[in-house]
Amino acid sequence: MTMKSKPQTPSRILLVSYDFPPAVAGVRRIVKFARYLPGEGFAPIVVAADPIPGTKLDRETLEQVRREGYPVLRTASLDPYHLWAWLRSAPGRIKSLSPFRRSTPAARMLAEEIREKRERDAENARQTRRRGPVGRWLRNVARGLARWFLIPDDRVGWVTFASAASERILRTQRVRYVVTTSYPNSAHLVGLHLKRRFKVKWVADFRDGWTQNPYFGKGPTGLHRAVNRMLEARVARKADLLITVSEPIARHLRELSGRDNVHVIPNGFDPADLADLPREHFDKFTLAYTGTLFMQRSPENFFAAVRGLLDEFHGLAEHFQVVFMTQFKPEHEEAIRHLGLGDVIVNRGLGTYREALALQASADALLVLEGPAENSEIMLTQKIFEYLAARKAILAVAPPGALADTLRRSGCGVVVAPDDVFSIKERLNELFHGQLDFRPDDEYIATFQRQRQTAELTRLLKSLN
């Protein structure tokens, strides 16, 4: 008689991520790991913060997470964003902050729709107030206070809640692996805490740099910077494995850790997300941008280049447009008015992930914006991989570094320095006339598929045993 082997019990893995669906930003990497880990013999459990009230929600991705069925434990957070939402919310609204936790699916969906409409209305009102001088002053004061008093970042108020929730899981279930992912960098403080108290293998995932980060790496004083360097070094030395999205960040982490336990798993795309996307027909040549704009990631030089293109080729405005899916700052809107680009620059506001993919698939070409700054060479934004998957010509206005190297290697477009307005204008003209070099390297692009990347993560996890 042949004995049947028992099916192997999946290894439980705890994923600690501040952002998680229905949040829109900062979630795609960990969501895809969680989706494909079960196929590699792992059972994921997620600890995440409650979504920030008033922000854009991605209900479609949340439904995908529910269908996949792994547990997601959401916690409170004492960061400025949740605190401000709590202060301005009436008691009845506070009760509805997480309607997806309870009731029937139909009731949850209805509650979410009501809540989302209220939050959109509230956000529109807040944006109107923020455009005034008082609103901008209050926002700048709040950001300044956060930089002074919150170390390592403005989400550090989540650490206590996330640590407590993770402890409860580890005390009641046999969890072998813990993955913490940043930004925020404070998520790795949860990993430090769990590594001290439990016999787990801890993986620290850096989606961005910490002290290298060109947007959030600088503190207001030398003391702030020293504390951040100390915390970053402690994480690098205590984690069993470090993974990150680009080689410049990996080199820095290897120096900190003094070990070879640092590996690059870039961001990527999932072909399943691209299936059955709705396509939009445009009656003009359409260049599209999806994603956030902040600090040195500014579109103003690009706007100037568009103005130059329209001045050089009269009548082009009737056949050319740039569609943004983002949130403009007041200075961006003022630049559009000043340059007379209101008929050419269109902004749809921040959209869901699927809406962004649909716009990318429908456009004629795609735009990347990344600003020059110290350590900007580490930046490798998520959307570049979505753009590669769309197989559209890409214009990247970006400094030298990981992003520029990836785009050139892919054969999908051209890179222009952010301050070279003339060259941006010339490349725009080539895009419009179909003259931009576009020879996609399909084999290279396929290496960024999420399922392949999860298999690589699995290989690294198993090497820790």
Query: What pLDDT, on the 0 to 100 scale, is given for residue 217?
Result: 58
Indicate the range of 14-18, 56-60, 423-427, 448-452 predicted with least confidence: 56-60
Q: Counting every residue, how long is the chain?
A: 465
pTM of this prediction exceeds 0.75: yes
> Span 84-105, mean pLDDT?
51
Query: Which of the listed ranges 39-48, 49-58, 86-95, 226-235 does the model predict with the highest average pLDDT?
Result: 39-48
CA atoms within 13 Å, Cβ hemisphere of 201: 15
Task: Give the per-residue pLDDT at 72.
Answer: 93
C-alpha angle with apex 413: 407 to 417, nearest 5 degrees? Answer: 75
Cα–Cα dist 421/303, whole Å: 9
Mean pLDDT of 224-228: 82
**Is pLDDT above 70 for 426?**
yes
Would you kindly state where each structural domain of the chain is located, as residue ranges? 11-268+453-462, 271-446
Select the more confidently predicted residue: 349 or 220: 349
Contact 249, 212 (CB under 8 A): yes
pLDDT tens for residues 175-215? 999 999 998 999 999 999 999 999 999 999 999 888 877 66
Mean pLDDT taken over the chain: 84
More confidently predicted of 99 and 169: 169
Residues β-bridged to residue 147: none
User: Which pLDDT score is estimated for 163?
Assistant: 97
Helix (H) or strand (E) holding 330: helix 330-339
* 271-446 classified as CATH 3.40.50.2000: yes
**Tens-digit pLDDT profile for residues 252-287:** 999 999 888 999 999 999 999 998 899 999 999 999
CATH architecture entry for 11-268+453-462: 3-Layer(aba) Sandwich (3.40)
- At residue 95, the pLDDT reads 46
Instruction: Assess whether pLDDT exceeds 80 at residue 111.
Output: no
> Do 11-268+453-462 and 271-446 share a fold?
yes
Instruction: Output the six-digit token pair for 133.
Output: 């001088």
227: exposed, middle or buried (C-beta count within 10 Å: 0-12, 13-18, 19+)? middle
Reported as a single tens digit per residue, the pLDDT across 337-366 is 999 999 999 999 988 888 999 999 999 999
